[in-house]
Structure 1
Amino acid sequence: MDLILEGIWKAITLIVTLDPEVLGITLLSLKVSGTATLISLFFGIFSGTVVALTRFPGRKIVVSLINTGMGLPPVVVGLFVTIFLWRNGPLGFLEILYTPTAIIVAQSVIATPIVTGITLAAMQNLPPKLRLQILALGATRMQMLGLLIREARLPLLAAVMAGFGGVISEVGASIMVGGNIMGYSRVLTTATVMETGRGNFDTAIALSIILLLLAYLINYVLTRIQQRERPR
Structure 2
Amino acid sequence: MQDLGEAFLVALRLVLSGDADLMEIVVLSLRVSLTATALACLIGLPLGALLAVARFRGRNALLVLVNALMGLPPVVVGLLVYLHLSRSGPLGFLGLLYTPTAMIVAQTILITPIVVALSRQVLDDLHAEYAEQFRSLCLGRGQAVFALIWDGRYSLMTVGLAGFGRAVAEVGAVIVVGGNIDHLTRVMTTAIALETSKGDLPLALGLGLILMTLALAVNAMVHGLRVTAVRYAHA
2:72 equivalent to 1:72 = yes
Task: Give 1:143 shift.
Answer: 3.7
Q: Is the 8 A contact 2:50 2:145 kept in 1?
A: no
What corresponds to 2:90 in structure 1? 90
What corresponds to 1:172 in structure 2? 172
Q: Is the 8 A contact 1:135 1:141 kept in 2?
A: no
Q: Is the 8 A contact 1:7 1:204 kept in 2?
A: no
Q: Is the 8 A contact 1:70 1:113 kept in 2?
A: yes
Task: Give 1:69 shift.
Answer: 0.9
Task: Give 1:120 shift.
Answer: 1.1
Q: Is the 8 A contact 2:52 2:124 kept in 1?
A: yes
What corresponds to 1:15 in structure 2? 15
2:141 equivalent to 1:145 = no
* CA separation of 1:205 and 1:57: change in aligned 2, threshold 3 A: same
Q: Is the 8 A contact 2:154 2:228 kept in 1?
A: no
Match for 2:113: what amino acid?
A: P
CA distance, structure 2, for counterparts of residue 4 and residue 114 of structure 1: 37
Moved more, 63-72 or 144-153: 144-153
What corresponds to 1:60 in structure 2? 60
Match for 1:195: what amino acid?
A: E
CA distance, structure 2, for counterparts of residue 192 and residue 64 of structure 1: 35
Q: Is the 8 A contact 1:171 1:190 kept in 2?
A: yes
What corresponds to 1:220 in structure 2? 220
Q: Is the 8 A contact 2:33 2:164 kept in 1?
A: yes
Residue deviations 1:41-94 (CA, integer Å, cap 9, x gap): 011111111122112222222111100111111000000000000011011111
2:118 equivalent to 1:118 = yes
Residue deviations 1:110-163 (CA, integer Å, cap 9, x gap): 110000000111122225251331342365544432221233334322211210
CA distance, structure 2, for counterparts of residue 202 and residue 16 of structure 1: 13
Q: Is the 8 A contact 2:98 2:177 kept in 1?
A: yes
Tell me how many residue pairs correspond in the alignment: 232
Q: Give the % identical residues.
A: 41
Task: Give 1:196 shift.
Answer: 1.2
Q: Is the 8 A contact 2:53 2:127 kept in 1?
A: no
